[in-house]
Structure 1
Amino acid sequence: MSVSDNFKTFCNNLRMSDDTVDSIAYRYKRITKQLNKCYWNSESETSHSLYVGSYGRGTEIHTSDIDMLFWLPYEDYMRFDNYIGNGQSALLQEVKNCIQNTYKTYMRADGQVVKVDFTDKISFEIVPCFVNTDDSFTYPDTNSGGSWRTTNPKPEIAEMISANNLWNKNLKRLCRMARAWKQVWDVPMGGLLIDTLAYKFLKAWANKDKSFIYYDWMSRDFFKFLCEQSESQSYWLSPGANQFVWRKGKFEYKAKRCYNISLEAIQNESDGYHYTSKTKWREIYGTKFPS
């Protein structure tokens, strides 16, 4: 197989199965429908909800957590904001009780989400929220006595879609490849930081509109970009929304190691040692890369 075929197969191997995607969509619609019954006198399976997080941006490679927002009427914000005590905690408990009318599986409400765990290891993290005039969302945080926070995922999702289409679908593929690297090398990076740095890298990369035949170079140059980040930098700004994306730990050293391995993989391929080259890529990306 050629470099192009190897990376195309690798990217296909990182995609979720149709059955998994269908299962997620079925549960998402059931949760949305139940919450619409409770808060909007509606049985819509799609209104007032939104996939967010890595799944919403289309960059996830596994299904440990599916993040979704569900927005409630403004009068409910007033009701919980006027609580004596932790109104945010009361809101999460009420939303949890509503969802239990549909799902009796293990659930908990803490922090900022209602989490629903399914037996197939898929978990939904539902964030109840309220729409602001600028189309951002206010959501509850139950910690430290309760407070309200703001998030703005729509511009991030829109910018990721736009850039991905403009750059020949390479952005989301690179984000998924980086997640495979994160898993193999236990890299301390959150999903949004991976997506943010992949976006910043590709925006300046000369070959961002090329196809799979450039993916060995894309990997090499992305690892070089990562290892050259300043270890003193504590946050970056997300695509579209320019929200703070915080560092979780140092990733530069592991990126440098994989940059060096990618140089070996590319040289081995050039020298005709195709099996050795693939072994090097599997050292970086794991067993989803073809052997």
Structure 2
Amino acid sequence: MSVSKRFSTFLNNLKLTDAQKSDGASKRESVVRALNIHYWGSSSGTSNSRFVGSWAKKTRIRPPRDVDVLFELPASIHARFEQRSGNKQSQLLQEVKTVLANSFTRTAIKGDGPIVLVSFASYDVELIPSFQRLGGGHFVCMTSLGGWYKHEAYEAQNVAMTASNALSRNNTRDLVRMMKRWQSFCGVPLRSFHIELLAIEFIATWGNRGNSEVYYDYMCRDFFAYIMGRQNGYVYAPGTAETMSLGSMWSSKAQSALNRAQKACAHEANAEIGLAGEQWQMIFGTDIPRFV
């Protein structure tokens, strides 16, 4: 039971507070309202937009990170920019940046495809201007190589996470949230999106995926072992099948975490609670308690 209590406490420490959730939603609404007024003649703080990333997949952790927001522009804006020459995608992002800068005169705003970054004191809103794509998904602005539109399928990403989480009785999201803490605490150069996709892969094959927090020590240990076998492999984006290289720059951090997780599991089995906690804190920091 000490394992269950340790990891339940850990996950509770990772949850955003109600105030943090409200603040993130408020920041989204203020940015979206400014764009809706300009592009849609509406003062809505939510229309033509949606959360994407960790806020949509429910894998966010504290302290608060970015708030990722997809904003759909009218088709007429696409048509207007298609009449231009040069890097049309960069010009479009600069226009969106200017619209926001006029509303948030004391806030740092940067445009770097596909994101316009609005840096508030508590949150950065990563605003993704987009156009609806026939057949599903969205086109977003990429400014490299002279400018081009990239197909993104954010809803398919959400569906993949939800399906895996249902298969595992909520273990997938818990695993992702814990691994994001490892990522930040240990400075692991592995993208959050890649961690999510690896977690979905791992959960599909893990024999204990339907069990409770009592098995979370094993889940962390076995996940580290799993990703060690995925060095220099690839993951594929749901909905678009975009191929993304995992590389191996993160592998030494994963091997270190695996070694510590193996020791921690052995200590847990021997009821050496403090020694187990010491190893877990080397992986996750003090959000996971040493003693339970």
Q: For 1:139, what is the secondary structure of its paired residue?
A: strand
* TM-superposition CA deviations, 1:38-59 (whole Å, max 9, x none): 1122222222112122333222
Q: For 1:140, what is the secondary structure of its paired residue?
A: strand
Bigger drift between 50-59 and 24-33 goes to 50-59
Equivalence for 1:215: 216
Equivalence for 1:13: 13
Bigger drift between 177-186 and 208-217 goes to 177-186
Q: For 1:272, what is the secondary structure of its paired residue?
A: coil
1:94 is aligned to 2:108: no
Q: Which runs of 5+ in 1 are unaligned?
A: none
* Contact 2:267 2:275 survives alignment (8 Å): yes
Superposition deviation, residue 239 in structure 1: 4.3
Change (3 A) 1:285 1:238: same
Q: For 2:286, what is the secondary structure of its paired residue?
A: coil
**Identical residues among aligned pairs (%):** 33
Q: For 1:286, what is the secondary structure of its paired residue?
A: helix
Equivalence for 1:226: 227
Q: Distance in 1 between matches of 2:179 and 2:78?
A: 39
* Contact 2:118 2:126 survives alignment (8 Å): yes
Equivalence for 1:51: 51
* Contact 1:153 1:241 survives alignment (8 Å): no
Q: Distance in 2 between matches of 1:73 and 1:39?
A: 7
* TM-superposition CA deviations, 1:7-26 (whole Å, max 9, x none): 00001111112111100101
Q: 1:1-291, aligned counterparts within 5 Å?
A: 2-62=2-62, 63-104=64-105, 105-120=107-122, 122-229=123-230, 231-233=231-233, 235-239=234-238, 241-247=240-246, 249-291=248-290
Superposition deviation, residue 248 in structure 1: 5.2
Q: Distance in 1 between matches of 2:34 and 2:179?
A: 36
Q: For 1:287, what is the secondary structure of its paired residue?
A: helix
Q: For 2:103, what is the secondary structure of its paired residue?
A: coil
* TM-superposition CA deviations, 1:230-260 (whole Å, max 9, x none): x332x21134553323325433332222222
Superposition deviation, residue 71 in structure 1: 0.8
Q: In the alignment, residue 18 of structure 1 is paired with which amino acid?
A: D
Q: Which runs of 5+ in 2 are unaligned?
A: none
Q: Distance in 2 between matches of 1:290 and 1:61?
A: 17
Q: Distance in 2 between matches of 1:79 and 1:240?
A: 28
Supply the RMSD in Å over aligned alpha carbons: 1.8
Superposition deviation, residue 174 in structure 1: 0.3
Bigger drift between 272-281 and 108-117 goes to 108-117
Superposition deviation, residue 34 in structure 1: 1.9
Q: In the alignment, residue 118 of structure 2 is paired with which amino acid?
A: V
Q: For 1:31, what is the secondary structure of its paired residue?
A: helix
Q: Distance in 2 between matches of 1:108 and 1:208?
A: 41
Q: For 1:124, what is the secondary structure of its paired residue?
A: strand
Superposition deviation, residue 101 in structure 1: 4.2
For normalisation by structure 1, the TM-score amounts to: 0.92
Q: Distance in 2 between matches of 1:246 and 1:264?
A: 30
* Contact 1:168 1:209 survives alignment (8 Å): yes
* TM-superposition CA deviations, 1:112-165 (whole Å, max 9, x none): 221110123x11111111001122111212234322222111101122123213
Q: Distance in 1 between matches of 2:180 and 2:83?
A: 42
Q: Distance in 2 between matches of 1:237 and 1:89?
A: 27
Superposition deviation, residue 274 in structure 1: 0.9
For normalisation by structure 2, the TM-score amounts to: 0.92
Number of residue-to-residue matches in the alignment: 288
